[in-house]
Structure 1
Amino acid sequence: MLKKFTHLLQLSSFLAASLNVTQAAPDWAKDIIWYQIFPERFNNGDPSNDPTRASLDDPRNVSPKWEITPWDSEWFDRADWEKEMSYHFPDTLQHRRYGGDLQGVIDKLDYLKELGITGIYFNPIFYANSLHKYDGNSFHHIDPHFGPDPAGDLALIAEESSNPRSWQWTAADKLFLKLLAEAKARGIRIIIDGVWNHTGRDFFAFADIRTTFQKSRYARWYHIKEFDDPRTARNEFDYHGWYGFKSLPEFANDPSGNNLAPGPKRYIFNATKRWMDPNNDGDPSDGIAGWRLDVAEEVPAGFWKEWHAYIREINPEVFTSAEIWGSAANYLKDTHFASAMNYRGFAIPVKGWLIDGKITASEFAARLDQERNSHQGDTAYILQNLVDSHDTQRVASAIANRDSFPEYKNADWFDYDDGERVHARTHGYNNGPPDADGRRIWKMLTLCQATYVGAPMIYYGSEVGMWGADDPEDRMPTWWHRFDPEIHDSYQSAFKLRHAQPALRRGDFKVLETRDGSQLFAFERTLGDQRLVIVLNRGKGDVTLDGDYLDGLKVIHSTDPAANTRRLPPLSAAVFGK
């Protein structure tokens, strides 16, 4: 009885703390340059753990001739097993596997450090049979085929329950902990994808419901519409799936609708702590640095407040980023997230002006200002400033198609449900590299990412010159065999500049000049007595730089060697300092 009373006191104290916790911007996150990795497609470091046909999400419907796809094979070439399964190219892509794994990431850590990367964001690495792994079978184990002993890991997992006392550390789990240590030794922090809205049908709790229905101890974990009636021949079992997808059953909310149901919430809290404090010793230094949370807006705000209070007790400096496509400021305040994927405040205006050239320089400046100024405190300095991701076409393809499909582009210029995706096949989508002018824009964009307020985040392979349309083309294996040294150098040099100049990471921001006619945009970053001026010329002609804001400064970095304090060539950018 005393033990139960003590537990209730602790719970009351925790809930009180959850009401008072506020949005927090961890100071270290201002200095991060993020690199997003889609694990199965980044690098194959251990061919012995490659996926098998049996490991796929629907092996019975996959050709017996299935085999791993060679890493350096051409994307649009089709293996015999694919041709046997379907005449249509897209039909078999979700069954392809290339063998990317955690060892492959470890093998590339020195490369990432040299590039200038100080943070890695992993798309889902938890156990799941699908390619994308947003339909997890569990949240407390790394996918066995990302580690060195898939068969052994699966045997261990089969012995467990939802009780964390039954959880063991598989070989893949241990390799992930090694990856954390190896990354930390190189000054690289790691965050991972959390999917707290839904699971896969083979998630241990839902798998139990599928066989025992309302008798399952997990029956209240999910949003079940109707259980099967054993008195009828028909199976009436039905449930809510994310956006109607039955492969993604959604967790249930509690009766208030403002929190998750107790069962999944308790499990998520336990799984969260496992990766934040692996030794369970109160020292989070051997755990992950934070989380990126999928479809955050579809999880109740009450849960996020409570969860953030919990994780900040484990690690007060934890970083959390919400997947938000719209304006994020109010949502972050309401849910206590530290950051967001900055689509609205960076990616969308950058595409509208710097890539597509469809808005003016002054409108670009206004959009940046509106979103940046909407955030409280230091939040703007840690927003993840991306231009592409696993959910979009690659930046190189956006540039290559900057003059395409004007009749389908809406006011946001970034809606990937519009004609850029739907009509790509039938309206001449350019699934090739940018032209010469496009490469100049690409370099400008890289420098813009490195100098604007917020943390740059690039999608794996951008720096080696990859292009690709929206999913699935954006998830090709990294082109290690088609390395583009010029593009790589543009990223590496821009990131080196950012690391060397504190004003670019922590300084104030001010727009100095916009010229809509010539499409020029100039801004400054200041910190103490340090002052840097960044000028971008999106126009097709030279611009004369006659503003007094360049007095006493010189070019310290540029995308075109002809840039100076009097002239900026077309489609180029420069940084001026003392």
Structure 2
Amino acid sequence: MKIFLKGLLAVLIVDAASAQTAFEDPPAWAKEVVWYQIFAERFRNGDPTNDPTAEDIEVGYPGFVPEGWAVTPWGQEWYKPDSWFANAKGRVDMAGDRMDYFGQIQRLRRYGGDLQGVLDKLDYLQDLGVTAIYFNPLNDAPSYHKYDARYWRHIDRNFGPDPKGDVEIMNRERGDDPDTWEFTSADRMFLEVIRQCHERGMKVVLDYSWNHTGNDFWAWNDLVEKQLDSEFADWYWVKKWDDPKTPANEFEYAGWFGVRDLPEVRETEYVDHSHGFEFYEGDLYSPAVKEHIFEVTRRWLDPNGDGDPSDGVDGFRLDVCAELPLGFWREYRKVVRDVNADALLIGETWWELYPDTMMDPEPQLRGDVFDSVMNYRWYRSVRDLMKNHPDDNFTVSEFVALQQGFIGNLREGNAYAMMNLTASHDTPRFMTSIFNKKNRNKVDVGPTETNDYKIHAPDAEAFETAKLLLMQQFTYIGAPHIYMGDEMGMWSADYIRRPVVWEDIEYETERIHPFGRERTVDPVAVNAEWRELYRQLAQFRNENSVLATGGIEYVLVDDERELLAYKRFDETDEIWVAFNLSERSQEIVLSVKADSMYFDPLNDRSYESDSRGSLRLELTPRTAIVLAPKG
């Protein structure tokens, strides 16, 4: 059962010989990277002097800042209420909902993560084997997640060294006139992050949501004040304008999935996504908002505007991309590639109909829209393979057939550029996802008053399963992705956005359950052994290009014995990977070169094939092995 994607060697030759990527192709580097995702507010507080203040966050959710609010200590127990929680509980948020639960109130928390914290940890990431960083939105915004932009064109004021000075700069600019735009201290610090990443051979990709802004976005504020007289009146989906002749406020608008602090940008056609998603044609309604988006995009691709994009970001991850029309995205690709022919565009592409059906991203991967998407389909199927999902009857051959279908339906370069992820800011952490083995990845993803979702430290079985999954992730077609802190062995449920655990910070022991139920008492610390596994896997992938660009042949697919083995190969190299997914020890036999030595880098062990080319391996229950030719 061999998949040697047609044209692979030709693609490799072209990539090596050409300094510029063809417009329709992903950049060569997209196949080769090990991704690391950073949610900046929760990554590392490198400069407490720039921590958010009540004034910085007051217009965001929930629409008020409770008395006594303060930044939360980094090492505080997650479910422990801050002293100011009592001043928020029972109040009504901007959506009209009463705030009675931890999950609502904790959205007011800030921990002070910033770009200095990123700079402080670049050496750590380099040692881990990271070669590309995907940043969640860094644009200026009142929330902790930054998807509610105040300014798309600026880095958040609290991520840089001079928040007050940055606000002064923002206030004296005209949002619709790029000639007035300056670089704030936070902007300049991000440019330094880019420079230092590039110096280390790391790519930088920045997240944007062009589908909506925040309710304090500069153009939205003008529209709310001036209504139909605003020059930005056609930027948003306004359902009804206020009538100044009446005392009532009749103003109504569309917010992203009804969220009031996320007003939606207007397209040429209104599409209701509440009953499912499908790709659709069209464009943004306002040429002005589109040009503003393009100007912000150019700003970060080539910050000094000299025609050399080496000082800019290497691409963008595009949020809720299925909710914007394909016509816009085709033009967006042209804008991006005109500035940097090697820039990467990654779509979030996820649900067709939540929570059962995921979208086939193929319409976005034909060479005229995106290069890659976040590959949630891979993660769902590999969890099934590891018996870590409600479908316990899922077989090895079903997994292979699914993967062949996924890959075979895509253009070759796009298949290799897929971002294969085990967690993101929108899912439970990897270890908690695995620990709650009967829960799907974005369904029942946290504790409620009625469920038994496990929020405590994962057990040995969960780590055993997770190791199997990681070995598949780092040896498979598509670029492996690490969500920050997963390499530390962190756990958490729907609140994946809890701050990263570092060795130089003291953490309170986890004791509290948000609904008062019994739970284990768990110390919080870095799992050094787990982190070393990530480092070994990333290093092995980085040192063996065949894992990034080679073909794949399934050499053993055995449903009855629950065995899987495949070979990654090109003209000169090969890597063998085998899985025993059963609960019993089993021998497998691989047909390799006769009288040859093979090395297991994860266990520092060698194996030798016999004169007939048979390599016999004894695999203990639920284990995997990776083998490379020795010598």
TM over 0.5: yes
1:436 CA displacement: 1.3
Matched residue type, 2:410: H
1:127-164 deviation digits (Å, cap 9, x = unpaired) = 00011111101110000000000000011101111210
Relative distance call for 1:159 and 1:362 in structure 2 (3 A) is same
1:160 is aligned to 2:173: yes
1:560 CA displacement: 9.8
Q: Are the counterparts in 2 of residues 518 and 541 from structure 1 also a CA contact under 8 Å?
A: no
Provide the rounded CA distance (Å) in 1 between the counterparts of 2:557 and 2:86. Answer: 54
1:264 is aligned to 2:307: no
Look up the match of 2:537.
494
2:119 match: secondary structure: helix
1:568 is aligned to 2:615: no
1:312 is aligned to 2:363: no
1:388 match: secondary structure: coil
Spell out the pairing of 1:84-483 with structure 2 (5 A cutoff): 84-86=87-89, 88-161=101-174, 162-254=176-268, 258-260=282-284, 261-325=286-350, 326-333=359-366, 335-344=368-377, 346-354=378-386, 356=388, 358=392, 359-402=394-437, 404=438, 413-414=440-441, 416=442, 418=443, 420-421=444-445, 425-470=449-494, 473-481=495-503, 482-483=525-526
Provide the rounded CA distance (Å) in 2 between the counterparts of 1:296 and 1:352. Answer: 27
Look up the match of 2:34.
33
1:556 CA displacement: 2.1
1:366 CA displacement: 1.2
2:216 match: secondary structure: coil
Provide the rounded CA distance (Å) in 1 between the counterparts of 2:252 and 2:309. Answer: 41
Provide the rounded CA distance (Å) in 1 between the counterparts of 2:78 and 2:331. Answer: 44
Q: Are the counterparts in 1 of residues 173 and 180 from structure 2 also a CA contact under 8 Å?
A: yes
1:519 CA displacement: 1.9
Correspondence for 2:64 among 56, 61, 65: 61
When structure 1 is superposed on structure 2, of 543-552 and 391-400 the one drifting more is 543-552
Q: Are the counterparts in 1 of residues 67 and 87 from structure 2 also a CA contact under 8 Å?
A: no
1:427 CA displacement: 2.1
Provide the rounded CA distance (Å) in 1 between the counterparts of 2:101 and 2:433. Answer: 25
Provide the rounded CA distance (Å) in 1 between the counterparts of 2:488 and 2:295. Answer: 39
1:254-307 deviation digits (Å, cap 9, x = unpaired) = 479711120110100000000000000100000000000001111111111111
Amino-acid identity (%) = 38
2:182 match: secondary structure: coil
Provide the rounded CA distance (Å) in 2 between the counterparts of 1:440 and 1:108. Answer: 28
Provide the rounded CA distance (Å) in 1 between the counterparts of 2:138 and 2:617. Answer: 50
Provide the rounded CA distance (Å) in 1 between the counterparts of 2:42 and 2:227. Answer: 37
Q: Are the counterparts in 1 of residues 567 and 577 from structure 2 also a CA contact under 8 Å?
A: yes
Relative distance call for 1:58 and 1:92 in structure 2 (3 A) is farther
1:539-578 deviation digits (Å, cap 9, x = unpaired) = 2111211242586452423479799942011121111221
1:55-113 deviation digits (Å, cap 9, x = unpaired) = 11448732221111110111011121113322632231111000000010000000000
Q: Which runs of 5+ in 1 are unaligned?
A: 1-20, 406-412
1:426 CA displacement: 2.2
1:503 is aligned to 2:554: no
Provide the rounded CA distance (Å) in 1 between the counterparts of 2:551 and 2:449. Answer: 44
1:174-216 deviation digits (Å, cap 9, x = unpaired) = 0000110011111111001011111011111001011110000
1:15-43 deviation digits (Å, cap 9, x = unpaired) = xxxxxx95321011111100001110000
2:151 match: secondary structure: coil
Relative distance call for 1:320 and 1:208 in structure 2 (3 A) is same
When structure 1 is superposed on structure 2, of 495-504 and 511-520 the one drifting more is 511-520
1:203-243 deviation digits (Å, cap 9, x = unpaired) = 11001011110000111111111111111121111111111
Q: Are the counterparts in 2 of residues 555 and 565 from structure 1 also a CA contact under 8 Å?
A: no
- What is the RMSD of the two structures over their aligned residues, measured on CA atoms? 2.0
Correspondence for 2:85 among 78, 82, 86: 82
Compute the TM-score of the two structures, normalised by the length of structure 2. Answer: 0.83
Provide the rounded CA distance (Å) in 2 between the counterparts of 1:363 and 1:459. Answer: 27
1:499 CA displacement: 0.9
1:468-520 deviation digits (Å, cap 9, x = unpaired) = 112xx100100114111111011000111101111111100121112223322
Matched residue type, 2:242: D
Relative distance call for 1:522 and 1:424 in structure 2 (3 A) is farther
Q: Are the counterparts in 2 of residues 355 and 398 from structure 1 also a CA contact under 8 Å?
A: no
Q: Are the counterparts in 1 of residues 468 and 624 from structure 2 also a CA contact under 8 Å?
A: yes
When the two structures are aligned, how many residues end up with a matched partner?
544
Matched residue type, 2:179: R
When structure 1 is superposed on structure 2, of 496-505 and 356-365 the one drifting more is 356-365
Provide the rounded CA distance (Å) in 1 between the counterparts of 2:475 and 2:617. Answer: 21
Provide the rounded CA distance (Å) in 2 between the counterparts of 1:175 and 1:340. Answer: 28
Matched residue type, 1:80: S
Matched residue type, 1:513: L
Provide the rounded CA distance (Å) in 1 between the counterparts of 2:479 and 2:194. Answer: 21
1:72 is aligned to 2:105: no
Matched residue type, 2:497: R
Q: Are the counterparts in 2 of residues 440 and 559 from structure 1 also a CA contact under 8 Å?
A: no
Q: Are the counterparts in 2 of residues 322 and 341 from structure 1 also a CA contact under 8 Å?
A: yes
Compute the TM-score of the two structures, normalised by the length of structure 1. Answer: 0.91
1:46 is aligned to 2:60: no
Relative distance call for 1:58 and 1:313 in structure 2 (3 A) is closer
Q: Are the counterparts in 2 of residues 555 and 574 from structure 1 also a CA contact under 8 Å?
A: no
When structure 1 is superposed on structure 2, of 126-135 and 372-381 the one drifting more is 372-381
Provide the rounded CA distance (Å) in 2 between the counterparts of 1:124 and 1:447. Answer: 30
Provide the rounded CA distance (Å) in 2 between the counterparts of 1:562 and 1:89. Answer: 52
